[in-house]
Amino acid sequence: MKKCDSLSLLCQYLQNLDSRQEDSAPTPKVRQKLQPDWHAVARLADQHFVLPLLYQQLVRKRILQLLPEDLQTLLAEIYKLNRLRNDLIYNQINRIAFLFNSAGIEPIFLKGSAALLMELYDDPGLRVMNDVDFLVDKKDLPTCVELMQSMGYYPMEGLKLPEDFYHHPPLVHNSHSIRFEIHERLHTDSVLDSEAMITESVMIKMPDGIVRVPKNTHFTIHNILHHQVFDKNSLNEETPLYQLYDLYMMRERHDRHLDWRSICCFFTNHSLQDPYYYSLDLLRKYFKQRPPEKIRLSVQCGRIYRRIMHYCNELLASYNLLPRTKT
């Protein structure tokens, strides 16, 4: 089974994940057609960090029983473990909220942890997270590090970051594998201003305190910047589905309330139209999601990515995020 076929099938099953209604069981005729190389599909889902998503969708569509038994067991176990891990992340964020609030600090959680707190997904076990990122005011960074250390966290060993790096060295814990990164500014700060992200952030009430997440428009901009411009995966012509799916779910839930005019102006003003339009085109291509109203995608979207590798490298170098080639 070709990789492109596996990707097409994987995306097909991930569509409309948020639907609350279960699909009817496939007919015998459909069952005959649903005999792909499931191990190949699962391997690809693993590479894109969407195995729990795939599992949930196969269960909802009543297709899971068509998979080999060993794969059914594996997917169920991975989903279970990720649900437990995300529950632990939520509990740790709740503890952080309590401690930080006592010092007058309300951290702004980003990316996957923001998606978890915003409830973009109808099941907290679906989003896979490598680490947990949150943003604080630069002046509060020393206090935040001290508070994290009081919880048993310590800097990851063997990792040296530049002195002016945008986040503190990752903080780890002996009792679990969750890694926290405290940002004093955004990776995208040269394009998307951290101060604006902080000022316009949205409050989330936790059981024992308050945290914040980016407003929906900033979440959308930040997502596109990461998975199309600043993320290393995008430079390898591999858009990670778990990041793209956050954008998909944001649109599924909040599309009418997103300020698409401001989003479009933001990318146009920073000469980033190609990554912006390409992201929307990927949503159309992979998940059959139509572009926002009054936004017309160029017929050349399919060719854009061939220009993006060179373009992104130049952009990253101009913002001192990649070393320039010596002449």
Taking only the tens of pLDDT, the chain with its 327 residues reads: 566 677 888 888 888 654 444 554 444 444 445 577 899 999 999 999 999 999 999 999 899 999 999 999 999 999 999 999 999 999 999 999 999 999 999 999 999 999 999 999 999 999 999 899 999 998 999 999 999 999 999 988 876 766 666 677 889 999 999 999 998 888 766 788 889 999 999 999 999 999 999 999 999 999 998 888 776 544 445 678 999 999 999 999 999 889 999 999 999 998 888 888 888 988 998 899 988 876 766 544 544 444 544 555 555 555 455 444 443
Please report the sign of the dihedral spanned by the C-alpha atoms of residue 302, residue 248, residue 46, residue 29.
negative
Can you give the pTM of this predicted structure? Answer: 0.84
| The residue type at 292 | P
* Residues contacting 27, CB < 8 A, separation 6+: none
* Cα–Cα distance for residue pair 101/99, rounded to 1 Å: 6
Helix axes 51-60, 3-14, angle to 10 degrees: 60
Is residue 104 a contact partner of residue 72, using CB atoms and an 8 Å limit? no
